[in-house]
A and B are shown apart, each in its own frame.
Chain A
Amino acid sequence: MADNPYLPYPVKIQQIITETEDKNLKTFKLVFLNKEDEERFTFIPGQFCEISIAGQGEIPIGIASSPTEKGFLMFTVNKTGVVTRFIHNMKEEDIIGIRGPLGNWYPWEKMEGKNVVVIGGGFAFTTLRASIVYMLHPENRNKFKDITVVYGARSPGLLLYREEIAEWEKRDDINVHITVDATDDPNWPYNIGFVPTVTEQKITTSEDSYALVCGPPIMIKFTQPVLEKVGFTPEQIIMSLEMRMKCGIGICGRCNIGDKYVCKDGPVFSLAQLNELPKEY
């Protein structure tokens, strides 16, 4: 972490990939301009960075690459406001800044030796991708038992990381269930149905398991009861939240839920923790 936590590290856009057919989601591969910054930057899946664009502002985006992927950082950005619109119009070789790594991470120590269920919806899949790549890495895979993934989007063209997920689906050390709400492709090889529905079909046990859940509020609303029915306790359900942020370091006072700051005590919270806090998010 830099001495001035508000000062971004300068980075260059190495590659831009348009992820979805509506072009609203783009993945940016970033490289550090300064070697010392790159060496100083070590992170754990679940954390985020404040992407900083001089003249526009900053946005908190989950790190989509795993620390096992060296030499670059990957962020998938949804075009939704002033800063994201600007970054979507940027080109490769352009310079921006990042501050981080910020926030807490998924409870990897607790998850060791357990089954991991990853449930994601829409474009909330970014830190989940980081987590899956991390777990599948040869150094880490045997720390975890069964890994099951349920990932869905409204339609095939809106799925993120399609090629990668197709590769994962073929592996035998991970069970991947891809689904879409609807499609008119007669050759669609995967599931059709909402994420909560597919979860209900595919997740049959909660024994010795943790569920990482990330998605739009409506998906979470209907997935939670499904998991509870299978026997997941609130401590076993782990969520990653979003909030409007500015400083990202727990000082500007904006992103709190109760007495916890989403940027510093989160963004990863267990459902048990959230139940203790006011429902203001």
Chain B
Amino acid sequence: MSDKIIKKEELTDILKALKETYEVIAPVKENGFYSFKPFKDGGNIDLNFTNTRLSPKSLLFPQSERIFEFNLDEKSKDGYIVKEHPKDYPPSVIVGIRPCDAKAFKLVNINFDNPEFKDPWWVKRMEAMTFIGLGCNEPSSTCFCTSVGCGPFNEEGLDVMLFDLEEYFLVRALTEKGEKLLKQGRVDKDVDEGLQKKADELRIKAEKKISSSVPTDKLKEKKINDLFNAPFWDDVAFACINCGTCTFLCPTCWCFDIQDEVTKTVGDRIRNWDSCMFPLFTLHASGHNPRPEKVQRVRQRFMHKLKYYVDEYNNGVACVGCGRCVKYCPVNVDVREVFSLMNGL
């Protein structure tokens, strides 16, 4: 499918047309911060943002999700038998996701969808989701996507890419799913050469604007135990307060907890986000804890993202350079410094 062009004002109408078949999710501004919310008729979507505060990972992986249900009635024939909680997976489209967050979904997908085990809820939601990305014309000073295998116009994980050309969007279908969606939205006006050229230049301009970068070339060759026993962890970890901010805002963090909650004789099994930063993350029932000290937990997070993931999947680091942890860490623990320390050991 060749590149198409739409006027910016047409976007709302296109989304309304898409709503007939898809659940549409778009960025919305609330109290000065952006987040992805379902698109309501008459709602304002606002694509004038750098990025949302919370990553869109909660769309495929909600923070709290009921996965099973059961009743605890001994007289019932299915008492104490755990059953699936019925869910449906309507076709959905997310509009305006940034290339870093889209690539993050691909990185996390390797964890949830692998040959031995497939997480049924993630897999089904991934299949049902179409990703319309918005390339970044103005990266932020905390973005370092280009040095971790991503970029302001990176296409991995996207079905459609939007190029912001002031009054217009150039719309490029990247996959069959994307083409299908554009046909549904009746996006069919071909772009003219002039705007096409401008769009192609956007990528180059944006990549030049990325001012922050991290070294990653030597991470694979370093030995795990050398990095693990490195002398810099105490310095890196001192300020850290072991909250869950970085892990919850990060689009590539995926750790979760499973809890049963019961009211009288009915109950649910719930999956919640969890964080390796929390002290109880690895606590054994016997009372033994492999990571009782803060520095051990901080080290675990960086070793996982910058080393264990690299070794395990041969797919680069588990980081897309979105910069959220840098911006929102209450005590300014900067992952970019850790990249330099680890790569340069």
A-B contact pairs, 21 of them (CB 8 A): A5-B119, A6-B68, A10-B82, A54-B70, A54-B260, A55-B72, A58-B258, A82-B285, A243-B290, A244-B281, A244-B284, A249-B116, A250-B114, A251-B112, A252-B255, A253-B256, A255-B282, A256-B304, A258-B308, A259-B312, A277-B224
Q: Could you say which of B120, B283, B290, B309 contacts A280, with CB atoms under 8 Å apart? A: B290
Contact B281 A55 (CB under 8 A): no
Using A52-B82, A247-B258 as known contacts, say yes or no to A84 and B224 having CB atoms under 8 A apart.
no
Using A54-B81, A259-B311, A276-B225 as known contacts, say yes or no to A80 and B258 having CB atoms under 8 A apart.
no
Using A54-B260, A95-B81 as known contacts, say yes or no to A278 and B228 having CB atoms under 8 A apart.
yes
Cα–Cα, bound, A255→B276 (Å):
10
Cβ of A96 within 8 Å of any chain B Cβ, yes or no, is yes
* Number of B residues with CB within 8 Å of any CB on chain A: 50
Contact A259 B224 (CB under 8 A): yes
Cβ of B174 within 8 Å of any chain A Cβ, yes or no, is no
Nearest A residue to B253 via CB reads: A253
Segment 24-65 of A: residues with Cβ below 8 Å from B: 33, 52-59
Q: Could you say which of A7, A53, A246 contacts B256, with CB atoms under 8 Å apart? A: A246
Segment 112-128 of B: residues with Cβ below 8 Å from A: 112, 114, 116-120
**In the assembled complex, which residues on chain A have CB atoms less than 8 Å from the CB atom of B72?**
54-55
Segment 198-226 of B: residues with Cβ below 8 Å from A: 224-225
Chain B 104-146, CB-CB to A under 8 Å as 1, else 0, gives 0000000110101111100000000000000000000000000
Q: Could you say which of B120, B303, B311 contacts A3, with CB atoms under 8 Å apart? A: B120
Chain B 266-301, CB-CB to A under 8 Å as 1, else 0, gives 010100001010000111111000110000100010
The interface of chain A, by Cβ under 8 A from chain B, is 1, 3-8, 10, 33, 52-59, 80-82, 84, 94-97, 242-244, 246-247, 249-256, 258-259, 264, 276-278, 280-281
Cα–Cα, bound, A251→B84 (Å):
19
Cα–Cα, bound, A97→B79 (Å):
11
Contact B284 A4 (CB under 8 A): no
Contact A254 B68 (CB under 8 A): no
Cα–Cα, bound, A26→B314 (Å):
44
**In the assembled complex, which residues on chain B have CB atoms less than 8 Å from the CB atom of A52?**
82
**In the assembled complex, which residues on chain A have CB atoms less than 8 Å from the CB atom of B276?**
253-254
Cβ of B168 within 8 Å of any chain A Cβ, yes or no, is no
The interface of chain B, by Cβ under 8 A from chain A, is 67-68, 70, 72, 79-82, 84, 111-112, 114, 116-120, 224-225, 228-229, 254-260, 262, 267, 269, 274, 276, 281-286, 290-291, 296, 300, 303-304, 307-309, 311-312
Cα–Cα, bound, A1→B120 (Å):
13
Contact A252 B120 (CB under 8 A): no
Contact A280 B255 (CB under 8 A): no
Nearest B residue to A255 via CB reads: B282
Contact B120 A4 (CB under 8 A): yes
Contact B284 A254 (CB under 8 A): no
Q: Could you say which of B81, B84, B312 contacts A4, with CB atoms under 8 Å apart? A: B84
Q: Could you say which of A84, A95, A243, A276 contacts B79, with CB atoms under 8 Å apart? A: A95
Q: How far is the CB of B63 from chain A (nearest CB, A)?
A: 14
Contact B256 A252 (CB under 8 A): yes
Contact A57 B259 (CB under 8 A): yes
Q: Could you say which of B68, B111, B274, B296 contacts A251, with CB atoms under 8 Å apart? A: B111
**In the assembled complex, which residues on chain A have CB atoms less than 8 Å from the CB atom of B303?**
258, 278
Cα–Cα, bound, A7→B117 (Å):
12
**In the assembled complex, which residues on chain B have CB atoms less than 8 Å from the CB atom of A244?**
281-285
**In the assembled complex, which residues on chain B have CB atoms less than 8 Å from the CB atom of A251?**
111-112, 117, 119, 254
Nearest B residue to A59 via CB reads: B285
Cα–Cα, bound, A98→B300 (Å):
30
Contact B224 A54 (CB under 8 A): no
Using A80-B286, A81-B285, A246-B256 as known contacts, say yes or no to A54 and B308 having CB atoms under 8 A apart.
no
Using A84-B285, A94-B80, A256-B304 as known contacts, say yes or no to A281 and B255 having CB atoms under 8 A apart.
no
Contact A256 B274 (CB under 8 A): no
Closest 5 CB pairs of A and B: A81-B285, A259-B308, A253-B255, A54-B70, A278-B228
**In the assembled complex, which residues on chain A have CB atoms less than 8 Å from the CB atom of B281?**
244, 254
